[in-house]
Amino acid sequence: MKKWFLHTKKADFDEIGAKYYISPIVARILRNRGLTDDKQIRMYLHGTLADCYNASLLTDMERTVEILEEKIRTRKKIRVIGDYDVDGICSTYILVKALQERGAVVDAAIPHRIRDGYGLNESLIEEAAADGIDTILTCDNGIAAISQIALAKELGMTVLVTDHHEIAFTEKDGQRIYELPAADAVVDPKCPTDTNHPENAYPFPGICGAVVAWKLAGLLHPQNSPLIREDFLQIAALATVCDVMELKDENRIIVREGLRLMTNTTQVGLRALLKVTGLWGKEITAYHLGFVLGPCLNATGRLDTASRALGLLQSTSKEEAIRIAQELADLNESRKQMTQEGVENAIGLAEEQLSREGHPDKVLVLYLPQLHESLAGIVAGKIREKYTRPAFILTDGEDSVKGSGRSIDGYDMYAEMTRCRDLFLKYGGHKMAAGLSILPENVTVLRQRLNTNCTLSEEELIDKIYIDVALPFRYADEALMAQLKLLEPWGNGNSKPVFAQKNVQVLESRIVGKNHNVLKLRLRDEAGCVREAVYFDEVQSFAEFLSQNPGQPVSVLYYPSINEYLGSRTIELIITDWC
């Protein structure tokens, strides 16, 4: 169920507009996003890479660099251990290349999804020891690998952790006691602040593993080298979007600058991937990173081995890059089909439970033994969206049940799982997403415990849409659209503005498109301004309403876009919801 809310935050929008040379409409949108002080607004509108935070503010960063410098000088063997998702692959690429360019003796290992599971495990540590590795450098993982890192230390290796996941904790008398691995250095923007030196706290903990890696690389190379400012920056931007980090603060700058470079990228692997996905020559947006490029790189970690995706990024030959990119794109196509089936089965299960019990659990725990375990996360995301509640999708792994969860605002998934930690074989993650393995006999208990502990109210289970501005159609023009460009890139944590208009007359409507999935409309607002519009969501039900209620005015949520047809440009409103 969707419910509309109008932002009612007050400020002098004309004054803010005049001060920053923006329209009062844009000023209002900034206010709606919680941007109030000068520094925030300036960083949002005009932030550059120079506004990104100093890497040394991350705990242990300087120590990590010192140790690495020493290892490079003494030609010790370093192994970078990443992870199999996009962020893990991107951070591995950045650290390996940064070290190689400094002449280090370095190689990489990425855990195999099925054989190894998530992150560091004992066999990766033992392999490293057997290969005579002196130093393990983790990225996008390691923070939760307490026992594995203890083993590496026992075997005499140096261990440097770089990660961005939550720090494990236990609760005692309502106090959180954090548990860090016994590595030689631990770099993680979520490390609890040293209470004696609060000024050292990293200002924005919401960065991904690849951004942590990029910052470390920046200390190993001069900041203005093209490697840091171009190649790695684009890869860090890609990982930020694919790891679903919020496009706020420095993340937004990293993604905006990375996207700008990507349109003309000289990164051989990226260029090949843009070519085979038909995006070369187009303006690349965060949507393309998250929904076209990312899934191709993930396809390997999911259905094959992630080293192919790493190979793509490391590729120096155009021909080789195109070949790998094409393989990845093909794999992704087959994965899409399997995902679709998985989503249908999961919905079937949720509906069955709903019809049996009259109300669905607030936290959905759906067990689909047949689903490929690599797809659990994507399916959980779709189920979370459909039912607006936290969802766990569990499947049969090699030797236990494995699963992924996706959460909603107001439900700290990692903390809630921590309250049931006795049920898991392994778990880890964030507020919004997590992974786990569990014995089959504990699945039902998990479902019950999560739901008993859940304090989400009915109110929190409503899909809320916040309207930025009630805006008559005549203001939705090209000048406004040019201003809205300042607010890009859109994505998680920085969504497209939502405009609304009530008492809209539908002058004309017709269903078009090969699959009858587009509703074309001509709309007139209260002031008499007429605009073309399109609607893509539940086309049939809107069309039915219109034919049964001719002449009845409707309210719409919309966003303006440009429709270019036979050389003429017209404003077209994209309708996102109606009532």
Contact residues toward Mn ion (CB under 5 A) are 87, 140, 209, 243
Residue 119 or 560 with smaller CB distance to Mn ion: 119
Distance CA 359, CA 362 (A): 9
Residue 87 or 416 with smaller CB distance to Mn ion: 87
Which is it for the CA torsion 542, 543, 549, 554, positive or negative?
positive
Residue partners of 234: CB distance under 8 A and separation at least 6: 258, 261, 262, 265, 267, 270
Residue partners of 509: CB distance under 8 A and separation at least 6: 519, 520, 521, 522, 543, 546
Nearest residue by C-beta to Mn ion? 87
Longest dimension (CA), the chain: 80
| Exposure b/e, 252-262, CB count within 10 A at least 16 = b | bbbbbbbbebb
- Least distance in angstroms from the C-beta of 91 to Mn ion: 8
Residue 243 or 257 with smaller CB distance to Mn ion: 243
Please give the structure tokens belonging to residue 68: 């690495």
Residue 272 or 296 with smaller CB distance to Mn ion: 296
Distance CA 507, CA 521 (A): 7
- Least distance in angstroms from the C-beta of 500 to Mn ion: 36
Distance CA 237, CA 150 (A): 33
Roughly how many angstroms between the first and final C-alpha of the chain, as a whole number? 12
Among 480, 309, 454, which residue's Cα sits nearest to residue 391?
A: 454
Residue 160 or 433 with smaller CB distance to Mn ion: 433
Residue 64 or 509 with smaller CB distance to Mn ion: 64
Residue 239 or 539 with smaller CB distance to Mn ion: 239
- Least distance in angstroms from the C-beta of 505 to Mn ion: 49
> Residue 502, Cα to own-chain centre: how many angstroms?
34
- Least distance in angstroms from the C-beta of 240 to Mn ion: 10
Residue 140 or 304 with smaller CB distance to Mn ion: 140
- Least distance in angstroms from the C-beta of 148 to Mn ion: 18
Are 13 and 31 spatial neighbours (Cβ–Cβ below 8 Å)? yes
Among 135, 182, 189, which residue's Cα sits nearest to residue 162?
A: 189
Residue 89 or 261 with smaller CB distance to Mn ion: 89
- Least distance in angstroms from the C-beta of 97 to Mn ion: 18
- Least distance in angstroms from the C-beta of 560 to Mn ion: 35
- Least distance in angstroms from the C-beta of 125 to Mn ion: 20
Residue 140 or 166 with smaller CB distance to Mn ion: 140
Please give the structure tokens belonging to residue 313: 């990024």
Among 220, 230, 226, which residue's Cα sits nearest to residue 99?
A: 220
Among 403, 485, 520, 500, which residue's Cα sits nearest to residue 450?
A: 403
Distance CA 475, CA 531 (A): 11
| Exposure b/e, 518-557, CB count within 10 A at least 16 = b | ebebebbbeeeeebebbbeeebeebbeebeeeeeeebebb
Residue with tokens 């090699």: 398
∠ CA 387-391-395, rounded to 5°? 130
Please give the structure tokens belonging to residue 115: 């054989």
- Least distance in angstroms from the C-beta of 563 to Mn ion: 38
- Least distance in angstroms from the C-beta of 165 to Mn ion: 7
- Least distance in angstroms from the C-beta of 139 to Mn ion: 9
Residue 163 or 327 with smaller CB distance to Mn ion: 163
Residue 87 or 361 with smaller CB distance to Mn ion: 87
Q: 277: part of which helix (H) or strand (E)? A: none
Are 81 and 106 spatial neighbours (Cβ–Cβ below 8 Å)? no
- Least distance in angstroms from the C-beta of 501 to Mn ion: 40
